[in-house]
Amino acid sequence: MPDDSFDLIVIGAGPGGYTAAIRAAQLGMKVALVEKTKTLGGVCLNEGCIPSKALLDSSELFALARDGFDRHGIAIEGLKLDLAKMMARKVEIVGKLAEGIAYLIKKNRIQRFHGNGKLAGARRDGLQVVAVTSADSPAIPLLINGKRVLLATGSHPVELPSLPFDGKQVVSSREALSFSTVPSHLLIIGAGYIGLELGSLWNRLGAKVTVVETLPTFLPHTDEQVAEALLRSLTRQGIRFLFDAKVASTELLQESIKAEIVVDGVSEELHCDKILVSIGRVPETAGLGLSEAGIRLDATGRITVGDDYQTSSPGIFAIGDLITGPLLAHKAMEEGVVVVERMTGQASLVEYDFIPSVTYTKPEVASVGKTEEQLNESSSPYVIGRFSFSANGRARCMDDAEGFVKILAHRDTGRVFGVHIFGPHASDLISEAITVITYGGTAEDIALTFHAHPTLSEALKEAALDSLHRAIHA
């Protein structure tokens, strides 16, 4: 291999890409990382997972100070929102984490290339060629060579043809995380987890929020009891939901937007100042040179790959949002590790059946494994264990006792099929469930395991005991 060539060229420095690059370097590969933006971390770090959670946490603290401190005997006078400072904190968090990733890339001696990466064919010696075009010299791309190329460019928001993004009045999740003022009325099209999280955020900060969804409910792959409980909670918090509905027309006015919403054939006129379109995301494949490289796509526009994540073009691989599966950062990161380990002959795999999902509303929703509806469809024999946070001492002390834990286990063997949590810190509590279900554990295993008292995790133990008809505090 020529001295100026690499064992692996990774295009895209999001969670999947930078994780793959680091793991490849740990395994002794000479790695190049190509990223079109100046900062690493991709959508997740820069305009998705991290900034949204920073603002969600800030908004929860603001709402607690406004509505909940009095119950703790804490009186606050003159409370006010400094949105600019809140946004500055978000930017600082993102910047620190981006610096951390850059340090890891440097520490692992990965060579960075700033620019758009495009597949440019293969050389006679079998090396793949990637053309890197930077903004500084768009007419003269830099050509780099590698034994393998990994595509990890992620995805971008879907735009409505009738309501294109303008970045001001009609926005994607990116702009909705950077408003300079709290909207007076935010209309959200789409009730997926992104829409629910951002609706929760701006609702807590004082915006009127209306969510329009074409389906009869939201989060269709979530356990129905959990989804129904979340809907009741968000409605009590002041978010209005219109299901089986569509936006028939919009008129952008100078200071507002007039929208016609049709629900069950009945038309309603709404006036808002912002519309967030949150109807999904599509793979970021434009400009990669996929067709020229002979890379096949499926009917949804995602790249088709085999068990080793190799595309239809030998030597070119793909992971993350580019391939089938949920659009989740932790999925992409696992695939990033597994794809390079399989390149070195390891029998690594991603346990797709045990990928957790989390919705960071308040209360949070976290799930892993099968839902009750899926078990009924497959006629699997199961038992249910359930425990309410209202009976959990720590949740009561936190004044955050809404929700429950639901465990689904095999009726005869006790093996855990699925765990669904609606309540405080569900995103953290689900980790125990993921471990148990991944290793084929049973409800008895959870029930017999020490859980410190008083902690939120005791709700898992009590739900497991409930499935065995041995609950103590239910």
Residue 139 confidence (pLDDT): 76
Task: Show the beta-strand stretches assigned E in 201-244.
Answer: 208-212, 240-242
What's the gap between Cα 73 and its chain centre? 36
Helix then strand count (H, E) for the chain reads 13, 22
Strands 274-277 and 185-189: parallel
Burial of 181 (0-12, 13-18, 19+ CB in 10 A): exposed
Residue 406 CB contacts under 8 Å (≥ 6 apart), including other chains? 223, 225, 226, 372, 384, 385, 386, 419, 420, 421, 422, 463
Cα 15 to chain centroid, rounded: 11
Domains of the chain: 5-156+282-352 (3.50.50.60), 170-279 (3.50.50.60), 363-467 (3.30.390.30)
Enter the DSSP assignment of 415.
Answer: B
pLDDT at 198: 97
- The DSSP code for 464 is H
185 is catalytic: no
Task: Report which secondary-structure segment, H or E, holds 460.
Answer: helix 458-467
pLDDT in tens, the chain (474 residues): 455 799 999 999 999 999 999 999 999 999 999 999 999 999 999 999 999 999 999 999 999 999 999 999 999 999 999 999 999 999 999 999 999 999 999 999 999 999 999 999 988 888 999 999 987 777 789 999 999 999 999 999 999 999 999 999 999 999 999 999 999 999 999 999 999 999 999 999 999 999 999 999 999 889 999 999 999 999 999 999 999 999 999 998 888 999 999 998 899 999 999 999 999 999 999 999 999 999 999 999 999 999 999 999 999 999 999 999 999 999 999 999 999 999 999 999 999 999 999 999 999 999 999 999 999 999 999 999 999 999 999 999 999 999 999 999 999 999 999 999 999 999 999 999 999 999 999 999 999 999 999 999 999 999 999 999 999 998
Q: How high is the pLDDT of residue 3?
A: 57
Burial of 409 from C-beta contacts in 10 A (0-12 / 13-18 / 19+) = buried
Q: Which of 330, 410, 453, 473 is catalytic?
A: 453
State residue 249's pLDDT score: 93
Q: What is the pLDDT of residue 124?
A: 84
Omega of the bond leading into 363 within 30 degrees of 0 (cis) = yes
Which helix (H) or strand (E) segment is 94 a member of? helix 83-107
Asked if 33 and 8 touch (Cβ cutoff 8 Å), the reply is: no
